[in-house]
């Protein structure tokens, strides 16, 4: 967490792939550790702020990674990781034996398990380290990081990861455990949205002020920035621009349903969310914030849409 | 909130009815305001600690209230209030014109609305002031109080109510508004229980530690004592003794369903909770803590019951 | 069932109250038994066809029933029966000791149980005999009748009831049993509607013809006029005019939910129907046929409304 | 449908793969058309009755199909078809150009679409012709067959298919349409099971005889062998031996959920069924008849299990 962390890390150089809204500030914070960092993005223009901060650009991943034992990816989904890692000439081919791939995106646990086996077959190591937090926390270096992978590798990475956020929770040797936790965390947030959506929809019908309800319940019970934040968005019907789009909410619900079904668990709340987000998307809310689930439930209760 | 509050209140004496786990410490705190307090309970033995603290016992409510313009009730449900207030010789008959009934129990909004009309017809005033918080917060005088009734009456009561908890939220002239908020608040808690129940049930099946999951999500997202507390109870399968019994959870879900149905609102999450609590009760969990909803979902996912 | 039935019935005269779409043809068929029939309706103009068929009008129920030991009611709901039977000067007051009230409407089982007790206290007998079938079957005298009440009374009524429909199922001494069966029967129909609604909504999205689907499934599996009829209504989006209005569907679902809740049974399918009918009503389908539940599910799946 | 059908069919010989409970009687009926039939099964002992009836055994599929332009498969699921058709040396390799594969099992529509493309690439034709009916109807040649594929091919097959059942519904050129209908049909049956399960569970609690309820509702409303049959199984709690196992019910629900999700349709009833079958399986009912969903709902309503 402090300046000497990089000294404790055995890694002197690394490569960072993926510089979207989250990846960019994360890479910037990693640079502060003093590590030599090559950066790559599908849209190279996005790299400018990092080059200014001391990183060097990597135009072509082929070959250029062969000497680099440490590569971070911060990519949107399974498909993007497949494209970057698994296709011919991808990371799998260019990472050296003993090299470490730290995947920080929100991927499906099942895919991470497969990916881990594939890396192992090549003598490489996968660490999965998805994060909780929006871009502002990425910027501030205060993300919560959930990391899983071989213990010694995790220990060697900690001094670096602590530049991106803390605490870093190490949750086991199987990389997919970290993704299970990330997927479950997002499911609990969606559960909070359903709870708020139904509560505010009823509140309106019986003459209770939604904003006052959120204020009182947060004071009396929750004292939680997440409860207050989503409650206020929903109370104010403030769904655009989106912090997290409804179609991504649907994607995350599908992830948790898929994992649950794989182990023969039914999740009735996830089923409600699945139906709710789909209804919203069919009503044109695809790119609204996922808290617009409140609008779906309000409309089902007879409310008109705010212009 | 401070020692001089009682001086600001126009009331020099009052009667307190109902000294259960919540009512007893609340009445004790009210005594600290310096008010002269008569106390009554169906089981008179429960009054001892209050008498020691300076209250006087009221054996028979009939007549003895005729000179007292202020009566608090802290009773379990609509039925108990009907018994105490509405039956012949009850509070309705003994309270003088202009007298104030402050009802602090968790009653149904529909009943409170009726009760308010009945008091008004007799020239009396109903204030509804349900509370959030368990006995420990009642003891500490840190309940959250949601009060509704005629504004001037509310103002005259504030110096007294602040001995029981703060903040006191005044939410309108219609007394039933306070009960709507209380009912909605309990519904959101039950929604949290469902969310946790499904999440932990899946976590166990995929090898994630439930306690670690709760710890990580609270740190990363919620930072909420309520989330952490219920999450830990459920993770530890620590359902007995109950903080709040499952059959009371069912009662509260039925309250919110009834209110919703009255205004043509469907609450799919409340329906899930209704089914979940009923299943638990039929499996013998009636007197377990309502967080045992986690056990219901776990069993539906194939988990055995912990001895 | 044949012409001599009336001879076997000990009743030579009776009164019929309620001549709506169902009551009118039922009363007409009862006349065919040869019984002397007084008829009454809130809107007396509705009586004309019956007077022509040989009935006599009863303008005022007060007193005029005191000599009549047998009164049929075919009324819309609990409220209408309360109005006609329970209020001062109602049927309860004018029916003689030993008189029989045959209630043929769709009432709530709980109310029928109360009503039965009330009649018994007056030395009167309640028989509950709700029917299955639409006006066309009432006309044809082919209703299915479910009757419950004291066995001897039922036997004495059979020759009359068989003019209204057959078979007549006698299901026990407790009159509310008949209403339980009626309520459950309507619930199964609503369950069929939900099944069809979801199936046709998916069929449309994957390119299967809804009409062909209904045709095939009825041929292959159901061979049921009810399945075919509702399936075709839904496939053709033929929701107006209504055979049975959506708001009555909602009323029936609420009946079954209330009965279930009273005995601590959860009905998740009834909860789905409750939400579905409410959504439809809030979208303006209140007076559409209840098979318009198909439209609700189709819209939730992104379908536009047919003009 | 009569003896001269085979004369109208251009096919003089065919191969039949898969002789389980359904496949065996179907193949036997096909022999009656007069066609020369080679038969194959993973467990060759199962072929005996067919050899006696005039078929010849095919021990190894490799090569032996190269001259046969017509192959029927009646296999359990996608996996079995993959094994038989797609793996090296499978049907795909041995069927000649212009050859026809008639797949009669219950496969997922998505897989059939893929399979159809694969056959087309080899210049082969896929007809999908799943059936409705249990082994008794297969035996009697009264299955309902839903067929989809190129119209001319369908026409040439009709004289043969009519030996297996009638009517044969031809539903379009895209083979997966037939599977959509089969999957939807099974979903409607499961919907009927949920409806019955909840109804009978409530009936028991309020004192209505489940068997009488089924009898009355079938007489009054459904007049359907399917309603009566499943209703009686459930009323009698007659779940073993299974006609159709609960785990196959779960498989079919998952099929319809998967298809629905692919086209962004939510099926709340399918979600209920998914949860219900999973709960039953976790309670040890995996190999009970799927109508044991009635037992699941009854247990959730407090009923004990019948020994």
From the CB of residue B52, how many other CB atoms can be counted at a distance below 10 Å? Answer: 9
- Domain of D68? 5-174
CB contact under 8 A, B222 and A224: yes
In a shared domain, residues D232 and D170:
no
pLDDT above 60 (res A208): yes
Instruction: Give the Cβ contact number of residue C21 at 10 Å.
Output: 13
Helix (H) or strand (E) holding B131, with range, is strand B131-132
Tell me what pLDDT residue A6 has: 42
Reduce the DSSP state of residue D275 to 3 states and report it: helix
For residue D58, is it within any domain? Answer: yes
Q: Which of C174, C204, C233 is the last residue of a domain?
A: C174
Give B189-206 pLDDT, tens digit per residue.
Answer: 999 999 999 999 999 999
Q: Characterize the bridge pairing of strands D143-147 and D131-132.
A: antiparallel
Answer whether C292's CB lies under 8 Å from C306's CB. no
Query: Residue A303: is it exposed, middle or buried by C-beta count within 10 angstroms (0-12/13-18/19+)?
Result: middle
- C69 to chain B, minimum CA–CA distance in Å? 39
* Residue pointed to by tokens 């467990």: D43
Tell me, yes or no, whether A191 lies in a domain: yes
ipTM over 0.90: yes
Tally the domains of chain B: 2
* D169 and D184 assigned to the same domain: no
Query: A4: pLDDT confidence band, cut at 50, 70 and 90?
Result: very low
Kindly give the confidence (pLDDT) of every residue in chain C, 307 residues in length, as a single tens digit, with 9 standing for 90 and above: 333 444 478 899 999 999 999 999 999 999 999 999 999 998 999 999 999 999 999 988 887 787 889 999 999 999 999 999 999 989 999 999 999 999 999 999 999 999 999 999 999 999 999 999 989 999 999 999 999 999 999 999 999 999 999 899 999 999 999 999 999 999 999 999 999 999 999 999 999 999 999 999 999 999 999 999 999 999 999 999 998 999 999 999 999 999 999 999 999 999 999 999 999 999 999 999 999 999 999 999 999 887 6
Q: Which of A275, A282, A300 sits opposite C282 (nearest CB)?
A: A300
Nearest to A180 by CA among A226, A134, A146: A146
Which chain D residues have a beta carbon less than 8 Å from that of B286?
A: none
Query: Does residue B241 have a cis bond before it (omega within 30 degrees)?
Result: yes
In a domain, D293, yes or no: yes
Domain-embedded: residue C154: yes
Which residue carries 């401070």 as its tokens?
B2
Angstrom distance (rounded) from CA B21 to CA B160: 20
C-alpha distances (whole Å) from D108 to each of C301, D79, D104, D105, D267 are: 21, 10, 12, 10, 17
Report yes or no: A181 and A129 within 8 Å, Cβ to Cβ.
no
Is B264's CB within 8 Å of C274's CB? no
Give the gap in angstroms from C-alpha B271 to the nearest C-alpha of chain C.
6
Buried b (16+ CB within 10 A) or exposed e, C115-132: bbeebeeeebbbbbbbbb
Cβ contacts (< 8 Å) between A282 and chain D: which residues? 264
User: For chain B, what percent of residues have pLDDT higher than 70?
Assistant: 97
What's the gap in Å between the CA of B295 and the closest CA on chain D? 13
Cα separation of D264 and C260, whole Å?
A: 33
Contact across the interface for A203 and B184, Cβ inside 8 Å: yes
Nearest to C279 among A278, A282, A300 (CB): A300
Task: Give the phi and the psi of residue B198 in degrees, each rounded to 5.
Answer: -70, -40
Do C26 and C68 have their domain in common? yes
Q: Is the residue at D287 inside a domain?
A: yes
Compare CB distances from A184 to B185, B199, B267 and report the shortest one's residue: B199
| Average pLDDT per consecutive 10 residues, chain D (307 residues; last block may be shorter) | 52 95 96 95 93 94 83 95 94 94 96 98 98 94 97 96 95 98 98 98 97 97 97 96 94 96 98 98 97 97 84
Closest CA to C125 of C134, C115, C133: C115
pLDDT score for C27:
98
* Site from C271, C277, C282, C285 to mutate, B interface, most B CB atoms within 10 angstroms: C271
Among C182, C251, C306, C307, the one annotated catalytic: C182
**Measured CA distances, C252 to C116, C175, C290 (Å):** 21, 19, 11
Are residues B166 and B198 both part of a single domain?
Answer: no
Query: For residue D188, what are its two tokens?
Result: 């409607």
Q: Do C278 and A299 touch (CB under 8 A)?
A: no
Backbone angles phi, psi at A12, to 5 degrees: -100, -20
The span from the CA of A17 to the CA of A39, in Å, is: 6
Residue in B12, B182, B258, B306 annotated catalytic: B182
Query: Which chain A residues are within 8 Å of B201, Cβ to Cβ?
Result: 265
For residues C143 and C76, membership in a common domain is answered with: yes
Spatial contact of B225 and B214, defined as CB atoms under 8 Å apart: no
Chain C residues with CB-CB distance to B under 8 A? 254, 261, 264-266, 268, 271, 274-275, 278-279, 281-282
Strands C125-128 and C100-103: parallel
Partner chains of C (3+ C-beta pairs under 8 Å): A, B, D
Rounded Cα gap, residues A265 and A274, in angstroms:
16
Do A220 and B184 make contact, defined as CB atoms within 8 angstroms?
A: no
Q: Parallel, antiparallel, or unpaired for β B143-147 and B131-132?
A: antiparallel
C144: β partners: C132
Taking CB atoms and an 8 Å limit, are B261 and C268 in contact across chains? Answer: no
| Contact: A224, B219; criterion CB under 8 Å | no
Instruction: Verify that C167 and C196 share a domain, yes or no.
Output: no
Least confident span in B2-6, B122-126, B177-181, B232-236: B2-6
Does A109 sit behind a cis peptide bond, omega within 30 degrees of 0 on the bond before it? no
> What is the C-alpha separation between C298 and A244, in angstroms, rounded?
27
The domain boundary residue, chosen from C136, C157, C174: C174
Q: Which two tokens stand for residue B271?
A: 């329906």
Strand spans (E) along C155-250: 165-170
User: DSSP E strands: which ranges in chain C?
Assistant: 13-17, 36-40, 56-57, 70-73, 100-103, 125-128, 131-132, 143-147, 165-170
Verify that A168 and A185 share a domain, yes or no: no
**Can you give the pLDDT at residue D4?**
42
Q: What is the per-residue pLDDT for D307?
A: 61
Q: Which residues of C touch D199 (CB under 8 A)?
A: 184, 187-188, 191
Say whether C281 and B264 touch across the interface (CB within 8 A): yes
Cα–Cα separations (whole angstroms), residue A264 to B300, D258, D274, D275, D285: 10, 15, 10, 9, 14
Examine the pLDDT at A183 and tell me if it is beyond 80: yes
Domain-terminating residue out of B120, B139, B174: B174
User: Does one domain contain both D27 and D159?
Assistant: yes
Q: Which residue of B has its CA nearest to C282?
A: B264
Whether C205 contacts C301, CB under 8 Å:
yes
Pick from C202, C217, C267: CB nearest D202:
C267
How many residue contacts between A and D have a Cβ separation below 8 Å? 31
Q: Which residues of B touch C264 (CB under 8 A)?
A: 278, 281-282
Inter-chain contact D224–C227, Cβ cutoff 8 Å?
Answer: yes
Distance CA D208, CA C180 (A): 7
What residue has token string 């007051």?
C93
Task: CATH number of the domain at B191, please.
Answer: 1.10.1040.10
Does any domain span residue C152? yes
Q: Which chains touch D (3 or more CB pairs under 8 A)?
A: A, B, C
Residues of D identified as active-site: 182
Average pLDDT taken over every residue of chain B: 94
* Residue B66: per-residue pLDDT: 79
Question: Considering the domain boundaries, does residue D306 fall inside one?
Answer: no
A182 carries an active-site annotation: yes
Indicate yes or no: CB of D216 within 8 angstroms of CB of C300.
Answer: no
Question: How confident is the prediction for chain A on average, in pLDDT?
Answer: 94
Please answer yes or no on whether B275 and C264 come within 8 Å at the CB atom: no
Judged by average pLDDT, the poorest of B23-32, B137-146, C3-12 is: C3-12
Determine the distance in angstroms separating the CA of B255 from the nearest CA of chain D, rounded to an integer.
20
Determine how β-strand C36-40 pairs with β-strand B143-147.
unpaired
Asked if residues A91 and A85 have their Cβ atoms less than 8 Å apart, the reply is yes
Q: Which of the four pLDDT bands, split at 50, 70 and 90, describes residue B307?
A: low
pLDDT above 70 covers a percentage of chain A that reads: 97
B289 with B163, same domain: the answer is no
Q: Which residues of A touch B196 (CB under 8 A)?
A: 188
Residue of A nearest to B223 (CA): A224
Residue among B264, B266, B278 minimizing CB distance to C264 = B278
CATH code for the domain of B12: 3.40.50.720
Catalytic residue among A182, A251, A258, A307: A182
Element (H, E) at B127: strand B125-128
Q: Which residues of D touch C206 (CB under 8 A)?
A: 109, 177, 180, 259, 263
Q: CA–CA separation, D283 vs B7, rounded Å?
A: 65
Q: How many residues does chain C have?
A: 307
Biggest CA-to-CA distance, chain D: 66
Predicted local distance difference test score (pLDDT) of residue A2: 36
> What secondary structure letter does DSSP report for B167?
E
Q: Given a cut of 50, is residue B3 above it in pLDDT?
A: no
Give chain A positions within 8 Å (CB) of B214. Answer: none
Residues D67 and D110 in one domain: yes
pLDDT-based confidence at residue B2 (cuts at 50, 70, 90): very low
Alpha helices in chain B (DSSP H): 5-8, 23-31, 48-52, 78-81, 91-94, 109-121, 135-140, 151-161, 176-206, 210-217, 225-235, 246-262, 268-282, 293-300
> What is the rounded distance in angstroms from the CA atom of residue D7 to the CA atom of residue D10?
7
Shortest CA gap A274–chain C (Å): 12
Question: Does residue C11 sit in the same domain as residue C146?
Answer: yes
Residue contact C201–D177, C-beta within 8 A: no
Nearest CA in chain D to B272: D272
Chain A residue whose CA is closest to D258:
A258
Contacts of C302 in chain A (CB under 8 A): 282
> Which residue is closest to B297 within chain D, CA to CA?
D279
- What does the alpha-carbon distance between residue C277 and residue C81 come to, in Å, rounded to a whole number? 25
Of the candidates C261, C264, C274, the beta carbon closest to that of B281 is on C264
**A214 and A125 in a common domain:** no
Q: Say if CB B30 and CB B36 are below 8 A apart.
A: no
The string of pLDDT tens digits covering residues B142-182 is 999 999 999 999 999 999 999 999 899 999 999 999 999 99
Question: Which residues of chain B neighbour D299 with C-beta distances below 8 Å?
Answer: 282
Domain-located, residue A306: no
């Amino acid at each position: 967490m402090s300046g000497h962390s990089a000294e404790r890390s055995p890694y002197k150089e690394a490569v960072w792939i993926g510089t979207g809204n989250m990846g960019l500030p994360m890479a910037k914070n990693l640079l502060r550790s003093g590590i030599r960092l090559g950066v790559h993005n599908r849209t190279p223009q996005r790299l400018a702020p990092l080059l200014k901060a001391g990183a060097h650009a990597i135009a072509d991943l082929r070959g250029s990674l062969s000497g680099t034992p440490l590569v971070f990816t911060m990519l949107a989904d399974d498909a993007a990781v497949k494209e970057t890692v698994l296709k011919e000439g991808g990371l799998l081919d260019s990472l050296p034996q003993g090299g470490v791939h730290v995947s920080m995106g929100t991927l499906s646990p099942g895919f991470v398990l497969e990916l881990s086996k594939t890396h192992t077959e090549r003598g490489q190591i996968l660490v999965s380290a998805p994060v909780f937090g929006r871009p502002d926390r990425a910027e501030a270096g205060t993300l919560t990081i959930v990391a899983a992978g071989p213990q010694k590798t995790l220990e060697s990475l900690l001094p670096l990861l602590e530049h991106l956020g803390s605490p870093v929770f190490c949750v086991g040797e199987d990389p997919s455990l970290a993704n299970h936790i990330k997927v479950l965390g997002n499911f609990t947030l969606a559960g909070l949205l359903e709870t708020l959506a139904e509560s505010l929809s009823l509140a309106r019908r019986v003459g209770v002020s939604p904003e006052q309800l959120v204020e009182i319940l947060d004071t009396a019970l929750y004292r939680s920035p997440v409860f207050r934040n989503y409650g206020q968005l929903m109370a104010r019907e403030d769904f655009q621009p989106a912090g997290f789009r409804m179609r991504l909410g649907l994607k995350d619900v599908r992830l948790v349903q898929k994992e649950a079904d794989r182990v023969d668990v039914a999740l009735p709340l996830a089923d409600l969310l699945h139906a709710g987000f789909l209804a919203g998307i069919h009503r044109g809310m695809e790119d609204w914030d996922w808290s617009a689930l409140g609008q779906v439930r309000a409309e089902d209760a007879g409310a008109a849409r705010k212009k």
